[in-house]
Amino acid sequence: MYHVWIPNSSEELKKDMLRYIGRSFDELIEDIPRELILRRDLEVGFGRPLSEYELIRIYRSYMDKNRKPKIPPFMGGGLCPTYIPQVVRYLASRGEFYTAYTPYQPEINQGILQALFEYQSMMAELYSIDVVNASMYDGSTAVAEAFRLAMRVTRRKAILAPEIMNPFYRRVAETWIEPVGGKIIYYRVDRGGQPDLEDLEDKADRETAAIYLENPTYLGNIVEKPEELKNIAGKTGSLYIVFSEPTSLAIFKPPGEYGADIIVGEGASLGLGLNYGGTTLGILGVRRDQSLIRQLPGKLVGMTTDLKGSERGFTLILQTREQHIRRERATSNITTNAALMAVQAAIYISYLGMSGLRRLAETIARKTRYAIDHIYRRREYMNLAIGARYFYREVPIRFRGDYGTIYRRLVDQGIYPGIRLDPLLKGFSNCGLFCFSDVHSRDDIDLLFESIDKVI
């Protein structure tokens, strides 16, 4: 059957090629046991090849069953809606980038390699850390790999993580480290969203591979003394892992400046969009320390010269860490990563530039503050779920009434409020985690709170 995606599928051409081969097609598959040969058509698709137009019609008929919100969603939890500038979309959809393979042949892929090197370098600038790899799948797996990395370097098994750790990341990290004997011990966080240092001191010991911090926390607040955690880690010879929302680092102190050994992040906010949770970008980096660098998972691009030493060039480096060479002794099994997302993030950051990035972060911080003022004016039925002083982008709201009902009524009106923390985080019943990002206008935020007033 000829198909326009399969050049040699015309019957005549296939016949010619088989004649040249000197065998029939059945002879080419004669080593497959007869009883395994499928004697019927697969029951897939719509029974016949569709034209593009028919496909689009069917796609639309499905997608039209989705409900569209009136205004951009306020759902947070580490992923917030964001606008993708057209220039970012355009450049990231260049076929030379998106139809390329991993640049194992550097000479023919200098462009992708430089773009990835620039991504690594820009992330290193933002997080104030020295080495950032060429991407992990997403934030959750980047955190899991950071934990595994710390376990390998320290040869210890325990990770200390905040009790308000992103609950999805928590489940992923537990899944990833449990088979190799790792365990996560959760330290207390006080009512102001700050790590309980006494509890941490109690729990940290010579078994602690790393202390993990999310800053801003999962609940959106800024941790005010993050360097204290470094001190505790230092006393027990543990590593310090910090997860940060990258845009926040345009205005807040970056993890590298308060002692992080390993940094982690989720890059969806860098012009990638939500994509229903995938495809996003995992950011993972380490301090300049050869033992950390040697244990870093994933691809890494480095700068070098050609053999004559006369021209600059880029290539994948330290590949002996990786599965295709080291096999069962590799630092990770990761092969395919999120390279195009890293390139897209690099394009987004260079489009905004440092000035644009700072203005973006400042505006988000101001919006967050503006939303908090709305909350304060409604103290009779809502309040901040944690009494922190500073928030960035996300705010947890505790409602006096049943948040499930409020949530449902708002969704029915086309306003998607904060995600329900109820089933996700212990001690946060009737709480929603709201996000205020670049896409929300003052009117949107006003409408959200006015709508809450009406349904409460």
Partner 1 sequence: MWRQAKWDVEILTEIDNSTARGSGPEVPFTHQFKDIELEVPEELARKTEPNIPSLSELEVVRHFIRLSQMSFGVDAGMIPLGSCTMKYNPKILDALALNSEIEFLHPLQDEDTVQGLLEILYTTERWLAEIVGLDKCVFQPPAGSAGEFAGALIIRKYHLDRGEPRDEMLIPDSAHGSNFASAAMAGFKVVKIPTRGDGCVDLDALKAIASNRTAGIMLTNPNTLGIFEKDILEIAEAIHDIGGLLYYDGANLNGIMGIARPGDMGFDIVHLNLHKTFATPHGGGGPGGGVLCVRRDLIDYLPRPILVREGGKLRWDYSCGKCIGMVRAYHGNITSALRTFGYIAMLGPKGLREVAETTIINTNYFIKRVLEKPYYELPYSPEKPRKHEVVLSAKKILNDTGVSAEDISKRLLDHGVHAPTMYFPPIVDEALMIEFTESEPKREIDRFVEILHRIAEEAYRDPSKVKGSPTATSVGRLDLVKANHPKTLAPSTRYVRGEGGSR
- Residue 376 contacts partner 1 per CB under 8 A: no
Q: CA 252 to CA 362: how far, in whole Å?
A: 10
- CA distances, 300 to each of 81, 131, 133, 314 (Å): 29, 9, 5, 10
| Binding segment toward partner 1, per CB under 8 A, in 184-192, 197-205, 394-402, 437-445 | 437-445
CB within 8 A of 96, min separation 6: which ones?
Answer: 111
CB contact burial 424-438 (16+ within 10 A = b; e otherwise)? bbeebbbbbbbbbbb
Which of residues 12, 99, 380, 427 is near partner 1 by CB under 8 A?
A: 99
* Dihedral sign for Cα atoms in the order 145, 151, 154, 158: positive
CB within 8 A of 241, min separation 6: which ones?
Answer: 143, 146, 147, 150, 159, 210, 211, 212, 213, 260, 261, 262, 263, 264
- Residue 12 contacts partner 1 per CB under 8 A: no
**Which CB atom, from 317 or from 447, has the smaller least distance to partner 1?**
317
- Min separation Cβ 424 and partner 1, Å: 9
- Min separation Cβ 202 and partner 1, Å: 26
- Residue 253 contacts partner 1 per CB under 8 A: yes
**Which CB atom, from 205 or from 313, has the smaller least distance to partner 1?**
313
46 in Cβ contact with 387 (< 8 Å): no
**CA atoms within a 13 Å half-sphere pointing along the CA-CB vector of 427:** 11
* Dihedral sign for Cα atoms in the order 98, 85, 78, 300: positive
- Min separation Cβ 330 and partner 1, Å: 4
- Residue 20 contacts partner 1 per CB under 8 A: yes
Q: Site residues for partner 1, window 165-204 (CB under 8 A)?
A: 166, 168-169, 171-172, 174-176, 178-181
| Binding segment toward partner 1, per CB under 8 A, in 194-202, 205-213, 325-333, 398-406 | 325-333
Binding mask 42-71 for partner 1 (x = CB under 8 A): xxxxxxxxxxx--xx-xx--xxxxxxxx--
Which of residues 70, 183, 202, 335 is near partner 1 by CB under 8 A?
A: 335
Judged by CB under 8 A, how many residues of this single chain contact partner 1? Answer: 211
Nearest to 362 by CA among 436, 432, 417: 436
- Min separation Cβ 404 and partner 1, Å: 11
Q: CA 242 to CA 235: how far, in whole Å?
A: 18
Q: Kindly state the helix (H) or strand (E) to which residue 62 belongs, with its residue range.
A: helix 52-63
Which of residues 84, 185, 197, 456 is near partner 1 by CB under 8 A?
A: 84
The pair of structure tokens assigned to 208 is 């602690």
- Min separation Cβ 165 and partner 1, Å: 12
- Residue 403 contacts partner 1 per CB under 8 A: no
- Residue 259 contacts partner 1 per CB under 8 A: no
First to last CA, the chain: 61
Which of residues 190, 205, 228, 323 is near partner 1 by CB under 8 A?
A: 323
Binding mask 114-153 for partner 1 (x = CB under 8 A): xxxxx-xxx-xxx-xxxxx-xx-xxxxx------x-----
Which of residues 157, 188, 370, 422 is near partner 1 by CB under 8 A?
A: 370
Which of residues 262, 263, 300, 406 is near partner 1 by CB under 8 A?
A: 300
